[in-house]
């Protein structure tokens, strides 16, 4: 029997387990290793930072009050809709707890929980003399090493957990709070304070908005590639990149300064796979066309290793599903792979294509076409990627119109065609992010 190891029980790992569970023809034995004590990956909130209760690096990067930063309709599983899960239409930008409930709802129905070894941190994946792989893991609950052999390995350990933390001169003596977004948990702790946010991508825009919403005195955003350019509310301003810090005074490249109480470095994450042997480790930057993955999934130097969700992400859950279905069908021998030279040619041509894309609208279409291509090669249900692309573009326009108000719009389910109701409370005023509050009919 073919033995498959899946590393990580976040959305990607759960997609992989679900793909096998959905296939009555599959006789593969699938075992998942998850270092946390529950599933859901980043959506499984933890208050911890630094090291977890076992001394492992804490995986969690999500924070309290986090609401989906894209329309839920753009990530809807094609075989398990939001209406099916919640029993009625719900608004388009759910808080983390609501999305967690949705992810877990499908996983529970699929019934593969007993295939997951929780509290197991994978320490090493290596080729063995039998022609397969040996996975060495640490059973954190029992505090002992375990090891097993597999024919295939699917790496689904995420890539938004290990901070990229650049140094700026003066950090050593900065007297305020200094953290990476990975350790940001509660915007309310910064109420009344002036905060410097470094970066200009998703984390920067959302952390700045959170800080404003929960009462920071002011937020100064600093970026090296130009301003985010949103129509920010009073209290949020943008500056060029900082050059250095003296005491609590931040100096920027245009010669201006600002005195701040705290710095949140929203400077992205590293693809980090210390548990993979050198010849099996993916090395890539955070982009749509990753290095070394044929069809964005199959590791070119060794086709028995797959990586899921390693792209920068417009598309998420439904793309992860399409990748998992593709990986499953490669493992089951239904999809024939071309030779290594052709795989490498595909990767470089695909990267060249991404490099030619002019703007974010083109990148949305690029990832939509990629996802559609995987769907077309498998029996994952078709889910109308042109509509999803259009909704991502509408969402971008809404953000341009109002970075604080874009979540107060309703989008269309690609499954049911239902236009989502508008939430009972505008995002900027909704301080309670609980599932109960979100699903209630009124505030």
The contact pattern for ligand NA7, residues 325-364, with x = CB under 6 A and - = no contact, is ----------------------------------------
- Of the pair 204, 280, the CB lying nearest ligand NA7 is at 204
In which residue are the tokens 């350790």 written?
Answer: 183
- Of the pair 66, 245, the CB lying nearest ligand FAD is at 66
Task: Give dist(CA 198, CA 238) in Å, integer.
Answer: 10
At residue 76, the 3 state secondary structure works out as coil
Query: Residue 202 to residues 7, 160, 197: CA-CA distances in angstroms?
Result: 26, 12, 12
Q: Choose the binding region for ligand FAD from 62-70, 218-226, 232-240, 417-425 (rule: CB under 6 A).
A: 62-70
Interacting positions 304-363 with ligand FAD (CB under 6 A) = 309, 313, 316
Indicate the Cα dihedral angle 359, 364, 367, 371, nearest 10°: -160
- Of the pair 194, 313, the CB lying nearest ligand NA7 is at 313
34 and 118 Cβ atoms separated by less than 8 Å: yes
Confirm or reject binding of residue 268 to ligand NA7 (CB under 6 A).
yes
Confirm or reject binding of residue 166 to ligand NA7 (CB under 6 A).
yes
Among residues 119, 161, 209, 385, the one that binds ligand FAD under rule CB under 6 A: 161
| Tokens coding 5 | 């190891």
Q: Choose the binding region for ligand NA7 from 23-31, 197-205, 365-373, 389-397 (rule: CB under 6 A).
A: 197-205
Task: Give dist(CA 84, CA 105) in Å, integer.
Answer: 10
142 and 53 Cβ atoms separated by less than 8 Å: no
296 and 310 Cβ atoms separated by less than 8 Å: yes
If one counts every other C-beta atom within 10 angstroms of the C-beta of residue 211, the result is: 27
Among residues 115, 126, 201, 243, the one that binds ligand NA7 under rule CB under 6 A: 201
Task: Give dist(CA 308, CA 15) in Å, integer.
Answer: 9
Confirm or reject binding of residue 43 to ligand NA7 (CB under 6 A).
no
Confirm or reject binding of residue 244 to ligand NA7 (CB under 6 A).
no
Confirm or reject binding of residue 35 to ligand FAD (CB under 6 A).
yes
437 and 430 Cβ atoms separated by less than 8 Å: yes
What residues does 148 pair with on adjacent strands? 135
| Tokens coding 324 | 């998992």
Confirm or reject binding of residue 157 to ligand FAD (CB under 6 A).
yes
Angle between the 360-376 and 385-401 helix axes, to the nearest 10 degrees?
160
Interacting positions 218-237 with ligand NA7 (CB under 6 A) = 223-225
| Shortest distance, position 14 Cβ to ligand FAD, whole Å | 7
| Tokens coding 265 | 């470095």
Among residues 17, 198, 289, 310, the one that binds ligand NA7 under rule CB under 6 A: 198
Contact partner at residue 199 from ligand NA7, ligand FAD, none, CB < 5 to 8 Å by partner kind:
ligand NA7
Binding residues for ligand FAD, rule: CB under 6 A, are 7-13, 33-36, 41-43, 59, 61-62, 68-70, 75, 121-122, 156-158, 160-161, 275, 309, 313, 316
Binding residues for ligand NA7, rule: CB under 6 A, are 69, 160, 164, 166, 181, 198-204, 223-225, 241, 266-268, 286, 313
């Amino acid at each position: 029997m073919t033995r498959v190891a899946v590393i990580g029980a976040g959305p990607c790992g759960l997609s992989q387990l679900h793909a096998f569970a959905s296939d009555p023809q599959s006789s593969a034995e699938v075992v998942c290793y998850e270092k946390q004590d529950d599933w859901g990956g980043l959506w499984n909130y933890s208050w911890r930072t630094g090291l977890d209760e076992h001394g492992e690096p804490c995986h969690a990067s999500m924070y309290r009050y986090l609401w989906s930063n894209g329309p839920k309709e753009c990530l809807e599983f094609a075989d398990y809709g939001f209406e099916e899960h919640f029993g009625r239409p719900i608004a388009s930008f759910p808080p983390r707890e609501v999305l967690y409930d949705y992810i877990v709802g499908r996983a529970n129905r699929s019934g593969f929980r007993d295939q997951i070894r929780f509290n197991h941190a994978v320490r090493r994946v290596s080729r063995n003399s039998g022609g397969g792989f040996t996975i060495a893991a640490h059973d954190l609950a029992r505090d002992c090493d375990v090891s097993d052999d597999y024919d295939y390995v699917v790496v689904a350990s995420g890539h938004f957990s290990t901070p990229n933390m650049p140094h700026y001169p003066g950090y050593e003596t900065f007297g305020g709070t200094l953290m990476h977004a990975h350790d940001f948990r509660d915007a309310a702790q910064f109420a009344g304070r002036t905060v410097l946010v470094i970066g200009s991508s998703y984390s920067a825009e959302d952390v700045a908005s959170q800080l404003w919403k929960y009462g920071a005195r002011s937020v100064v955003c600093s970026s090296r590639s130009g301003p985010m350019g949103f129509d920010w509310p009073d209290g949020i301003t943008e500056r060029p990149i900082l050059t250095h810090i003296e005491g609590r005074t931040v100096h920027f490249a245009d010669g201006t300064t600002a005195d701040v109480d705290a710095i949140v470095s929203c400077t992205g994450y590293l693809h980090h796979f210390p548990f993979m042997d050198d010849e099996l480790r993916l090395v890539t930057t955070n982009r749509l066309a990753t290095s070394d993955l044929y069809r964005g999934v199959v590791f070119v130097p060794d086709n028995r290793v797959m990586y899921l969700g390693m792209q920068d992400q417009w598309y998420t859950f439904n793309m992860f599903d399409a990748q998992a279905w593709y990986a499953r069908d490669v493992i089951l021998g239904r999809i024939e792979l071309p030779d290594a030279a052709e795989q490498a040619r595909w990767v470089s041509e695909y990267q060249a294509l991404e490099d030619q894309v002019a703007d974010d609208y083109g990148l949305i279409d690029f990832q939509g076409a990629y996802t559609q291509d995987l769907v077309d090669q498998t029996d994952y249900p078709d889910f109308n990627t042109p509509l999803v692309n259009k909704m991502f573009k509408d969402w971008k326009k809404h953000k341009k119109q109002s970075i604080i108000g874009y979540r107060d719009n309703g989008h269309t389910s690609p499954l049911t065609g239902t236009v989502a109701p508008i939430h009972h409370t505008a995002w900027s005023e909704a301080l309670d992010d609980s599932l109960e509050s979100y699903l209630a009919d009124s505030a």
